[in-house]
Amino acid sequence: MTVALLHVGTGRTVVTAQGLRRWALVLGVALLLAAIPVAINLWPVHAKALDRISFSSSQPYSGYVQSAGLLGLPALPNLTQVTAPLSGTTEMRTWYASPRSWRVDVLGEGTERDLYQTPEAQYSWDFGDNQLIRIEGDQPVRLPRAADLTPPELVRWLLSAAEGDKVTGLAAKRVAGVDAPGLRLTPASPDTTVAHVDIWADPRHGLPLQAEITAKGGTRPVFVTRFLEIHFAAPGAAVLTPPAPRAGIGYTVTEAPDILGVINRRRPVSLPSSLAGYPRRDAVRGLSAAGVYGTGLSSFVVTALPGRFGAAAFGQISTYGQDVPAPSGSQAALIATGLLNLLVVRDPGRTYLVAGPVAPTLLERVATALAEAQT
C-alpha cells in the first residue's frame, strides 16, 4: 500500500494514497472558494494611482516574473500545480497582449509548462510530457493557477477583494529597472489574517510590478511576486500562438472542469442572511449554494457541500485540523495556515465549508452561527 507524509501545522500523520486524493479534493475546493473575488470599493485616497492600475489591463507587456510563497501547503497529488506556487519559488516568463490573448510559461529544472489564452480557447502545453491540451469553455470560478500570481493578475484580484480597506502611499522602489511608486492596502476589519498588502506599479502605465502580502504577527511577507524584467510592448503573434498538433505530440480537447457545478446541481441549501455579525453579500455568480460574507480582505466564502464532498471535507479537516466548539448535535473543525484558513461544520443534514483569509476566532463564531441556523 502506498503511503505518504502530510504535514499540517506541527503534527505529522501517515495517510494512504486514497486519503490524499480525498484531501486534495477538499483543499482544491477550499482554494477555489478563497480565490473568488468580490466587488471593489476602495477608499478615495490615491484614486488616480488606483485608476491607472485598474486600466492597466489594456497595457501589453512581456517579462520575467519570480514569486515566492511561505504558506507551507502540502504538495498533494493532482494539486501540486496549485499548492506549489503558494509554498515555494516559481519562475515564470509572461507575454500579454490583452485579456483574451496572453501566455505564461512556468519554468522548472528540466521542465516547462505553458498556458496560452487565445480568443477561441485556452491551451496547456507540457514540454516534458510532450502533451498539448485544448481547453474549451469558460468558468465563473476555477482553481487558482500560477498565471494568477504574476503581479498584474494578483494585484487586480487583491483590489477587487479590498472593499472598504485603507490605501496609503509607500516610498518608491526600483523594480525591474523601473522607479515604481508604492501603495499599501491595510484591512479595515480586525478579523482578517492579512496585516497589509504592499503594491508597486509603473508610474506611466499603471502596471503592477511587485506585490507583497504580510500576515498578522509576521515580520516578513508570506507571499511576494515581482518582475525581474519588464518590457512595455506588444508581444508578436508567433509567441502567443500555441504549438500546432502534429505527429509525435499528444493532443487532447477537453471542456473546462466544473468542480463547483457538481455542488450546484445538488439539492439547494439556503444560507443565513448574516453570519457572526457579517451580512451576506451577493451570491457567487453561477453558484446558488455559496455566499460571500464579510468586507474587504476579511471576506470569506461559505458553501453547502453535498454528500460525498461534505463527508470528505469533514473527515479530512477533522483528522488533520483541530476541533472547534459547536452547539450540541453539530461538529466543527478548523485548519489554519497562517493566511488562508479552512473551516468545516457538519450537522445531521448538512455540511458547510468556509474558506478565506480570516482569523480563527471569527471562524469559531461562524461555526456556532451555522450550526444554530439549522436548529
Residue 314's pLDDT is: 84
pLDDT of amino acid 367: 93
Q: What residue spans define the domains of the chain? A: 42-255, 259-373
Top-ranked range on mean pLDDT: pick from 42-56, 218-232, 264-278, 304-318: 218-232
Tell me which of 306 and 113 has the higher pLDDT: 113
- Residue bearing the bigger pLDDT, 289 or 216: 216
pLDDT of residue 78: 53
Per-residue pLDDT band for 286 (boundaries 50, 70, 90) equals: low
More confident residue, 185 or 93: 93
Higher pLDDT, residue 369 or 81: 369
Mean pLDDT of 17-24: 45
Quick check: 151 pLDDT over 60?
yes
**The pLDDT value given to residue 268:** 56
pLDDT digits (tens, 9 = 90+) for 254-270: 876 555 565 656 555 67
> Among the ranges 49-53, 61-65, 364-368, which has the highest mean pLDDT value?
61-65
In this prediction, residue 40 carries a pLDDT of: 38
Work out the pLDDT band at 4, boundaries 50, 70, 90: very low
Most confidently modeled range among 187-191, 223-227, 328-332: 223-227
**Mean pLDDT across the chain, nearest whole number?**
79
Integer CA distances (angstroms), 324 to 58, 116, 128, in order: 46, 43, 44
- For the domain with range 42-255, which CATH number is right: 2.50.20.10, 3.30.1950.10, 3.40.50.920, 3.60.20.10? 2.50.20.10
pLDDT given for residue 209 in this prediction? 98
In this structure, of 24-28, 116-120, 280-284, the range with the lowest mean pLDDT score is 24-28
pLDDT of residue 257: 59
| CATH T-level topology, domain 259-373 | Protein Transport Mog1p; Chain A (3.40.1000)
Fold identical between 42-255 and 259-373? Answer: no
Lowest-confidence segment of 43-52, 195-204, 332-341 by average pLDDT = 43-52
